[in-house]
């Protein structure tokens, strides 16, 4: 583990290796874009953030770059987001893909590829999760004032009603590194926030995927998001799950972590 002197974030070295990318054996919740599972080689080791980028790190960056603060509230009513929260160890959110990329460049790094992200998240495991869910992640059931059954809520409510129910229960972002890390020492790879990756999203990317250090589709309309959020139900809390958003999209449940090949 090393501290990057530029962003003051902790980074973990991930050694090269091979893994099975995509739908995990026995995972019945996999979506079509997670299939087929395929072998991927990561030929070069890389550094990756031990946590997602925090508000504290973002403040250093935006002040050095002369940027305005990011949004501090969402459309439901949460109003202690980003710099409006007194605890700046929460993840920074409402960051566009370009803003995340620019931050990583300022820190001497880059966004991880989708393959690097999953390889790091699995940390040598082959199951849908790298540990028992409540122990490793903040998600819809455990991130509020009271424990709730989000799987049951999802099946009985539309999205707007579901989001309102979570808000009323106090489901919010939590400070980083409060749950147990995976085998590589990485925190919050599942839960708290989704995370930008470098790759363009392609629903059928895995059908003819490269086996060595894949970098995704050459172009597209949206970038790949990985991981899950403090509002997601258990079926979404899986290392292989894929999501997407346009490069200019801002979501109160999306953050990022940086990666890089060399020393800072």
Q: Kindly state the helix (H) or strand (E) to which residue 179 belongs, with its residue range.
A: none
Residue 246: the pLDDT is 98
- Does residue 7 have a pLDDT over 90? yes
Residue 162: the pLDDT is 96
pLDDT in tens, 75-87: 999 999 999 999 9
Rounded CA separation 225/216 (Å): 12
Angle between helices 97-106 and 55-65 (to 10 degrees): 80
Q: What is the mean pLDDT of the chain?
A: 97
Task: Kindly give the pairing relationship between strand 194-200 and strand 223-226.
Answer: antiparallel
31: its two tokens: 């979506």
**Where in the chain are the domains?**
2-260
pLDDT in tens, 157-203: 999 999 999 999 999 999 999 999 999 999 999 999 999 999 999 99
Instruction: Give the model's confidence band at 209: pLDDT under 50 very low, under 70 low, under 90 confident, else very high.
Output: confident
Rounded CA separation 94/253 (Å): 7
Residue 82: the pLDDT is 98
Segments in the chain forming alpha helices (H): 55-65, 97-106, 114-122, 133-136, 150-156, 159-168
pTM of this prediction?
A: 0.97
Q: What is the CATH number of domain 2-260?
A: 3.90.1580.10
Residue 210: the pLDDT is 85
- Does residue 108 have a pLDDT over 80? yes
Q: Kindly state the helix (H) or strand (E) to which residue 151 belongs, with its residue range.
A: helix 150-156
Rounded CA separation 175/180 (Å): 13
- Does residue 225 have a pLDDT over 80? yes
What Cα–Cα distance (Å) separates residue 252 from each residue in 11, 34, 96, 201? 24, 24, 11, 20
């Amino acid at each position: 583990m090393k501290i990057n002197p530029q962003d003051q974030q902790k980074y973990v070295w991930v050694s090269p290796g091979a893994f099975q990318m995509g739908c995990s054996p026995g995972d019945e919740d996999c979506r079509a874009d997670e299939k087929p599972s395929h072998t991927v080689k990561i030929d070069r080791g890389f550094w990756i953030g031990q946590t997602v980028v925090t508000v504290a790190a973002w403040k250093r960056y935006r002040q050095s770059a002369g940027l305005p603060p990011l949004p501090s509230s969402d459309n439901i009513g949460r109003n202690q987001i980003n710099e409006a929260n007194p605890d700046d160890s929460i993840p920074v959110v409402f960051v566009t893909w370009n803003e995340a990329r620019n931050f990583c460049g300022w820190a001497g790094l880059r966004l991880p590829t989708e393959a690097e992200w999953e390889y790091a998240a699995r940390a040598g495991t082959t199951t849908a999760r790298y540990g028992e869910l409540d122990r490793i992640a903040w998600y819809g059931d455990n991130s509020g004032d009271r424990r709730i059954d989000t799987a049951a809520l999802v099946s009985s409510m539309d999205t707007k009603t579901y989001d309102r129910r979570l808000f009323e229960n106090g489901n919010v972002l939590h400070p980083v590194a409060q749950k147990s890390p995976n085998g590589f020492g990485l925190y919050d790879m599942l839960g708290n926030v989704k995370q930008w990756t470098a790759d363009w999203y392609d629903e059928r990317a895995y059908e003819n995927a490269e086996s060595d250090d894949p970098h995704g589709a050459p172009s597209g309309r949206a970038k790949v998001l990985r991981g899950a959020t403090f509002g997601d139900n258990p079926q979404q809390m899986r290392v292989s799950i894929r999501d997407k958003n346009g490069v200019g999209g801002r979501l109160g449940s999306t953050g990022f972590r940086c990666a890089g090949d060399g020393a800072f």
